[in-house]
């Protein structure tokens, strides 16, 4: 049975840098508040005209180049996003069109911040069962166009950024590398704890002027509740993946947690008793880019030489749904 290995990584972020000080011009917040509570210093927001499919395309081209694989070898696309370019069809087909890969399947994954880990699990299964050999797995988000950039929306608006990260997942017969295990979870009892109510097919009409007036089209959350669950579920998911593969926390060379909040990452690191140099964070520069955070961080970690062949990489995510999950990969 072939194994699924990550053969190349790539990312793309908008060139428009939005600092914490830039936000103080439009809402009642401060650089000190944002840094202390979240660790975020700046984020990237798209300029008008940039689409998620365009960023995903650039991230995929970088990943294919690193893998040294032509786009024509790709058999399937899996694209994770909670902010599709359009209500339908999914962003995956727009990416497919940009890549010129007519005919191959394009699957959009709706698992929010855990979307990349869910997508990796699907790619791993498809490769192991022999259905596809070369898969582009992408996380892409444009959060900025959906945020309430005023004092009323400051709890959410300061957290999120835009960007795309991609990997080429390919079949390998080398049992010294590849995805060892993935573990996925969700708990819909908390669906409204971090969500966006409108526009929605459950409403008649999907969005009304009253919805717009009351801000139901903006995302909302109970930040403390999300924080509490994230800080508990992420270490649990790491331990679950380690137990399933007979490994221990000391075997992990690099942990890339979903970049929701530097304080959450720090709590996860302490609970797992991992030294600082074994955890990769870049939320300081990008904020929370939802499904894109893990592949952007992975691509940066690779470019910084933080992963060597044979290293044990652990990915862990938590997000809206709630959804959460983990993956262990022998690099
Ligand atoms: N700037 C300044 N003040 C802000 C603010 C901002 N951007 N956002 C909220 N505040 C205010 C609140 O209104 C509140 O004021 P009050 O005490 O007068 O009511 C005060 O700051 C404290 O808010 P609180 O929500 O208790 O802060 P916190 O320490 O819980 O930090 C978060 C808030 C959002 C940073 C934190 O809860 C968090 O990160 N949660 C997880 C969110 C997350 O990761 N979501 C995505 C998951 S994938």
Say yes or no: CB of residue 271 within 6 Å of ligand 1.
Answer: no
Q: Is 110 exposed, middle or buried (0-12, 13-18, 19+ CB in 10 A)?
A: middle
Active-site residue, from 20, 113, 229, 281: 113
Could you tell me if 162 and 103 lie in one domain? yes
Active-site residue, from 20, 57, 60, 258: 258
pLDDT in tens, 204-254: 999 999 999 999 999 999 999 999 999 999 999 999 999 999 999 999 999
Could you tell me if 195 and 298 lie in one domain? yes
CATH number, domain of 107, equals: 3.40.47.10
Specify the residue for token string 């999907």. 206
Are the beta carbons of 319 and 108 closer than 8 angstroms?
no
For residue 196 the two structure tokens come to 């966006």
Could you tell me if 92 and 183 lie in one domain? no
pLDDT in tens, 266-317: 999 999 999 999 999 999 999 999 999 999 999 999 999 999 999 999 999 9
Say yes or no: CB of residue 2 within 6 Å of ligand 1.
Answer: no
Measured by CA distance, the residue closest to atom 31 of ligand 1 is 37
Share of the chain above pLDDT 90, in %: 99
Could you tell me if 26 and 168 lie in one domain? yes
Residue 34 has pLDDT above 90, yes or no: yes
Are the beta carbons of 179 and 3 closer than 8 angstroms?
yes
Are the beta carbons of 247 and 312 closer than 8 angstroms?
yes
172, 195, 226 - which closes a domain: 172
Whether the ω angle into residue 89 lies within 30 degrees of 0, i.e. cis, is yes
Could you tell me if 24 and 164 lie in one domain? yes
Active-site residue, from 261, 282, 288, 314: 288
Specify the residue for token string 């992975």. 298
Active-site residue 185, yes or no?
Answer: no
Number of domains in the chain: 2
172, 191, 219 - which closes a domain: 172
Say yes or no: CB of residue 260 within 6 Å of ligand 1.
Answer: yes
Could you tell me if 295 and 224 lie in one domain? yes
Q: How many residues does the chain have?
A: 331
Could you tell me if 152 and 199 lie in one domain? no
Could you tell me if 63 and 14 lie in one domain? yes
Specify the residue for token string 């050999």. 133
Q: For 114-222, where are the alpha helices, taking DSSP H only?
A: 115-128, 154-157, 209-214
DSSP state of 288: B
pLDDT in tens, 209-223: 999 999 999 999 999
Say yes or no: CB of residue 112 within 6 Å of ligand 1.
Answer: no
Say yes or no: CB of residue 331 within 6 Å of ligand 1.
Answer: no
Distance CA 319, CA 325 (A): 10
Could you tell me if 225 and 252 lie in one domain? yes
Give residue 175's pLDDT band: very low, low, confident or very high (50, 70, 90).
confident
Could you tell me if 31 and 167 lie in one domain? yes
| Mean per-residue pLDDT over the chain, rounded | 97
Active-site residue 113, yes or no?
Answer: yes
What range defines the domain where residue 10 resides?
3-172
Q: By three-state DSSP, how is residue 59 classified? A: helix
155 Cα–ligand 1 center, Å: 5
pLDDT in tens, 94-152: 999 999 999 999 999 999 999 999 999 999 999 999 999 999 999 999 999 999 999 99
Measured by CA distance, the residue closest to atom 10 of ligand 1 is 155
Say yes or no: CB of residue 37 within 6 Å of ligand 1.
Answer: yes
What φ, ψ does residue 163 adopt, rounded to 5°? 160, 175
Could you tell me if 8 and 130 lie in one domain? yes
Could you tell me if 326 and 270 lie in one domain? yes
Element (H, E) at 265: helix 262-272
172, 194, 209 - which closes a domain: 172
Distance CA 179, CA 73 (A): 20
Active-site residue 314, yes or no?
Answer: no
Residue 318: name the closest of 208, 201, 231, 188 by CA.
231
């Amino acid at each position: 049975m072939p194994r699924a290995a990550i053969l190349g990584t790539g990312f793309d972020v908008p060139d428009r840098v939005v600092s914490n000080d830039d936000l103080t011009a439009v809402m009642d917040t401060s650089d000190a508040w944002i840094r202390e509570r979240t660790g975020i210093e700046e984020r990237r927001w798209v300029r008008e005209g940039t689409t998620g499919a365009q960023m995903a395309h650039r991230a995929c081209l970088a990943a294919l180049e690193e893998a040294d694989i032509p786009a024509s070898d790709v058999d399937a696309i899996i694209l994770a996003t909670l902010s599709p370019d359009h209500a339908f069809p999914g962003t995956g087909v727009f990416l497919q069109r940009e890549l010129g890969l007519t005919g191959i399947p394009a699957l959009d994954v709706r698992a929010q911040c855990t979307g990349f880990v869910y997508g990796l699990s699907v790619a791993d299964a498809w490769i192991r069962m022999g259905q596809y050999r070369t898969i582009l797995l992408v996380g892409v988000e444009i959060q900025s166009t959906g945020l309430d950039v005023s004092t009323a929306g400051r709890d959410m608006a300061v957290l999120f950024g835009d960007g795309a990260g991609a990997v080429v997942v390919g079949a390998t017969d080398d049992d010294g590398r590849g995805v060892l295990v993935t573990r996925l979870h969700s708990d819909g009892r908390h669906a409204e704890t971090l969500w966006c109510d409108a526009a929605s097919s459950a409403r008649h009409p999907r969005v009304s002027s009253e919805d717009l007036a009351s801000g139901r089209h903006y995302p909302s959350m109970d930040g403390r509740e999300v924080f509490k669950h994230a800080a508990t579920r992420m270490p649990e998911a790491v331990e679950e993946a380690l137990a399933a593969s007979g490994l221990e926390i000391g075997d992990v060379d690099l942990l890339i947690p979903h970049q929701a909040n530097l304080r959450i990452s720090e709590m996860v690191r302490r609970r797992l008793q991992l030294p600082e140099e074994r955890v990769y964070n870049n939320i300081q520069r990008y904020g929370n880019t939802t499904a894109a955070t893990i592949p952007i961080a992975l691509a940066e970690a690779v470019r910084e030489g933080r992963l060597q062949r044979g290293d044990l990489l652990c990915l862990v995510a938590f997000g809206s749904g709630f959804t959460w999950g983990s993956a262990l990969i022998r690099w």
